[in-house]
Amino acid sequence: MKLKSTLLASAVTLLPVAGLAADMTVGFSQIGSESGWRAAETTVTRQEAESRGIDLKFADAQQKQENQIKALRSFIAQGVDAILLAPVVATGWDQVLEEAADAEIPVVLLDRTVDADESLYLTAVTSDLVHEGNVAGQWLVDEVAGEECRVVELQGTTGSSPAIDRKTGFEQALDGHDNLEIVRSQTGDFTRSQGKVVMESFLKAEGGENICALYAHNDDMAVGAIQAIKEAGLAPGEDILIVAIDAVPDAHLAIAQGEMNATIELTPNMAGPALDALEAYLADGTTPPKWIQTESKLYTAADDNQAVYEMKKDLGY
């Protein structure tokens, strides 16, 4: 009897979860498709929603905040169960988030946070940019193992938070290791072409044999720099160690070919943890922490990068 009632009770608690997942509608306001990573994030979000049987309403804001606010308001009017928001800027969300809270629709922030009161959103799923830089720095410290090493750095867009934080994290990791020295640091604007141009100037100014490692704030710049290093007659990955961040397919390919040494993944799967948190919240009111940090996985030549490349290349990067 007791067993039966326990079974019944668990069935009752399980039922609404299953029922909920089946007809759950989630609105996703995406910034746009300005970078390969963002396109991949969109693809992965759609896949995650589909695998859970969630009806995903997707709205591309074409880089405009007004479009995002409009989309959010339309989601609220439509009465979706939850909203995923990848905010284009940090400011100006209070009013529309209040409206969502008023309609009791939980909002989860993806990839970036906002300057609004914490109570206005359920949680934010982001990577830790400082930590990414730190992982990159730590890898280099371990790799050179105490030998003298002159490092050049390709920074992201001046003043952007990824550039600032990834620089900070890297410097933190290098702190106290006097054998490592950042001799040159300049912006490559997160682009492949600028990465190449700036690396060429580094090679000219320092002399290729005097540079032992390159740290780029994203893979695109590193891929551009690899080109510059090859053109200077040096072997990227051997003569100059290369570590970057993002883990885009081309970086995996470069590692597989031995032209790059390490990359730290900025996972495009922000929606997975977000939807997990949402499902738990809607099922029994489990409140997630205000910040869910995604894993910053390190990929080196020890991993099967060819396989990862094959898997990632169709995500839209």
Partner 1 sequence: MIRSTHLPLLVTLLTFVLAYALCAAQYPAMLSTRVVANLLTDNAFLGIVAVGMTFVILSGGIDLSVGSVIAFTGVFLAVVLRDTSIHPLTAFVLVLALTTAFGAAMGAVIHYLEMPPFIVTLAGMFFARGAAYVLSTDSVPIEHEFYDFLQSLYYKAPGGGRFRLIGAVMLLAFVAGGLVLHRTRLGQNVYALGGGVATARLMGVPLARTTVSIYAISGGLAGLAGIVFSLYTSAGYSLATVGVELDAIAAVVIGGTLLSGGYGFVAGTFFGILIMGLIQTYIVFDGTLSSWWTKIVIGALLFAFILLQKGLTWATTSRKRVRTGSATPS
The residue ranges that bind partner 1 (CB under 8 A) are 27, 55-62, 64-67, 69-71, 73-79, 89-92, 94-95, 99, 102-103, 115, 159
CB of 94 to partner 1, least distance (A): 6
Which of 59, 197 has the CB closer to partner 1?
59
Closest to 106 (Cα-Cα) out of 312, 310, 283? 283
| Residue 77 token pair | 């009017």
Helix (H) / strand (E) containing 84: strand 82-85
Which of 50, 181 has the CB closer to partner 1?
50
Which of 57, 131 has the CB closer to partner 1?
57
CB of 108 to partner 1, least distance (A): 17
8 A C-beta contact, residue 208 and residue 229: yes
Residue 151, strand partner residues: 182, 213
Give φ, ψ of 202 to 5 degrees.
-60, -45
d(CA 129, CA 230): 29
CB of 64 to partner 1, least distance (A): 8
Strand ordering across the sheet containing 262-265: 180-187, 149-155, 213-216, 241-246, 262-265, 298-300
Which of 30, 294 has the CB closer to partner 1?
30
Q: Which long-range contacts (CB under 8 A, 24 or more apart) does 101-104 make?
A: 103/76, 103/79
d(CA 280, CA 59): 24
Which of 67, 179 has the CB closer to partner 1?
67
CB of 268 to partner 1, least distance (A): 19
CB of 98 to partner 1, least distance (A): 9
CB of 73 to partner 1, least distance (A): 4
| Residue 284 token pair | 């029994």
